[in-house]
Structure formats: C-alpha cells, structure tokens
C-alpha cells in the first residue's frame, strides 16, 4: 500500500480524519513532530471516531528520522501549490509516499527541496483559492493512487 505523511500537522481534526482514512484504505499514516495538538484532543478523537485502533500510524520526532525509517528506495511525492505538475499524471506504485505540509503554510522549502523527494506535485483547483483542506487533499491523493493500482485489497 501507500504511506501518507503529515509534516508538522497543526489541526487535530485533520489528523483524526487521516486516521480514519488509514483504517479505511490500509495506508500507513506518518506524523512528523512537532504536532499542533496532543492525542487526548477531543477533535482528534471525534474525527477519527472508533477507527484509531484499526489505523496504522507512526509518529517521528524529525523529518530525518522519517526518511531513515522509510529507507532509501521509496519514492516521495510532495503535495504543494508551488508545483505545476499534476498529481494525477504520476503513475503511483505500492510503497510510494505522499507527503503533505502543515495546514497554515504547506511544506517549507527545505523539505520540498530535500534530496529524498522524488517529485513535487499539486492537486488542481481554482486559481484564486489558496489550498484544499489537508485531510481532503490526502484523501484525494490516496484514492487516485489506490485507483491506479486496482484498489488492491478492497471489497
């Protein structure tokens, strides 16, 4: 399956929704600290419903520790409004990593330009809009990658 990374997420309900996405699709959700909430947050619990125990989630203290955990052979796609490349033009493979930045700012340049990053991509939207919701963006990306792979493991 695929891995989704939320780099320094700030809003608990977005991460809660991603936990539910993990349970429903079989992705692994990685969170890179610092987090803008704690795991006792009511918004996180509410958004994740009763899926927390069904999700595969890991928390990493730094981006470098995430990269070390993933290994060198993984393709990493960063989702950013700074790219002109459409996420839908990528031929996704199992094991690919979909990386998203924090809600208010997106990914910083040092992550976008990191040597481990395979490609920067964007989800198309209207030109006058700044960004989609983080959890919605992750869902769009995961389902496109999964669709391309025949919804492997789904019923």
pLDDT digits over 102-131, tens only? Answer: 998 999 999 999 999 999 999 999 999 888
Evaluated on CA atoms 4, 118, 112, 80, the torsion sign reads negative
- Tell me: the pLDDT tens digits for 2-44? 999 999 999 988 998 999 999 999 999 999 999 998 877 676 6
Task: Name all domains of the chain by residue range, CATH numbers in brackets.
Answer: 3-148 (3.40.1280.10)
pTM of the model: 0.94
The residues pairing with 120 across neighbouring beta strands, listed in sequence order, are 78
* Cβ contacts of 115 within 8 Å, gap of 6 or more: none
């Amino acid at each position: 399956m695929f891995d989704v990374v939320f780099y320094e997420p700030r809003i608990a309900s977005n991460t809660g929704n991603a936990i539910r996405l993990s349970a429903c699709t079989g992705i692994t959700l990685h969170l890179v600290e610092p987090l803008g909430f704690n795991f006792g947050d009511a918004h996180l619990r509410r958004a994740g419903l009763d899926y927390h125990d069904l999700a595969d989630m890991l928390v990493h203290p730094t981006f470098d520790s995430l990269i070390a955990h993933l290994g060198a052979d993984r393709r990493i796609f960063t989702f950013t409004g700074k790219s002109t490349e459409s996420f839908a033009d990528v031929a996704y493979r199992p094991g690919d990593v979909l990386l998203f930045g924090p809600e208010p700012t997106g990914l910083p340049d040092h992550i976008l330009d990191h040597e481990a990053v395979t490609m920067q991509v964007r989800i198309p939207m209207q030109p006058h809009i700044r960004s989609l919701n983080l959890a919605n963006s992750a869902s769009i990306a995961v389902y496109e990658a999964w669709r391309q792979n025949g919804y492997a493991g789904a019923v």
